């Protein structure tokens, strides 16, 4: 049994109603609520009884409450010889796999065009980890 209590604002968000509408339902007795201090709290079971349907979790409860940021970077390096391109590719793919436990995964894809001597690198991951990989690349290229 879900013992969760919702605020009037949370109920309004879940049902797509205005906060004032939910408060009116509570005051009119249409939606059972408990007053705690100056605020109403609605039990999960009372909310389901009111709607007649199971109440879905909002997206933020389903996904999680932690904020997530992701960066997509495309790096093109011209006039790069095959040996240096291999060094960059090995460095980036290896570094992408060495994230710590619980770290956001990094995805790295590379393509080397021998005819044009051009390396294209696509990095997708967290901002700090992506910046770290770009700094590693700069270090290899400047040596």
Domains belonging to the chain, first-starting first, are 5-63 (1.10.1660), 71-142 (3.30.1370)
Q: What is the DSSP letter of 14?
A: H
Lowest-pLDDT range, 58-72, 95-109, 112-126?
58-72
CA atoms within 13 A on the CB side of 63: 7
SS3 call for 33: coil
- Average pLDDT, integer, range 82-110: 84
Answering whether pTM is above 0.85, one says no
- Work out the pLDDT band at 126, boundaries 50, 70, 90: confident
CA distance 104 to 32: 42
Q: What is the pLDDT of residue 58?
A: 59
Query: Is the torsion defined by CA of 86, 92, 96, 98 positive or negative?
Result: positive
User: Which position has the higher pLDDT, 59 or 133?
Assistant: 133
Q: pLDDT tens across 72-86, in order? A: 999 999 999 999 999
pLDDT for 64 equals 53
Neighbours of 124 (CB within 10 A): 17
Residue 63 has pLDDT above 60, yes or no: no
Instruction: Give residue 103's pLDDT band: very low, low, confident or very high (50, 70, 90).
Output: low
What is the per-residue pLDDT for 99?
63
**Spatial strand order in the sheet of 39-43:** 5-7, 39-43, 34-36
Q: What percent of the chain has pLDDT over 70?
A: 86
């Amino acid at each position: 049994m879900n013992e969760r209590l919702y605020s009037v604002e949370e109920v309004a968000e879940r049902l797509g109603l205005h906060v004032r509408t939910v408060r009116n339902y509570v005051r009119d007795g249409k939606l059972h609520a408990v007053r705690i201090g100056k605020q109403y709290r609605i039990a999960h079971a009372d909310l389901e009884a009111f709607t007649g349907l199971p109440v879905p979790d909002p997206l933020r409860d389903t996904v999680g409450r932690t904020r997530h940021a992701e960066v997509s970077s495309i790096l093109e390096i011209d006039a790069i010889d095959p040996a240096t391109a291999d060094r960059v590719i090995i460095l980036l793919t290896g570094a992408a796999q060495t994230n710590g436990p619980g770290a956001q995964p990094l995805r790295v894809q590379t393509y080397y065009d021998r005819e044009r001597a051009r390396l294209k690198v696509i990095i997708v991951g967290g901002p700090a980890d992506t910046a770290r990989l770009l700094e590693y690349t700069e270090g290899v290229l400047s040596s």
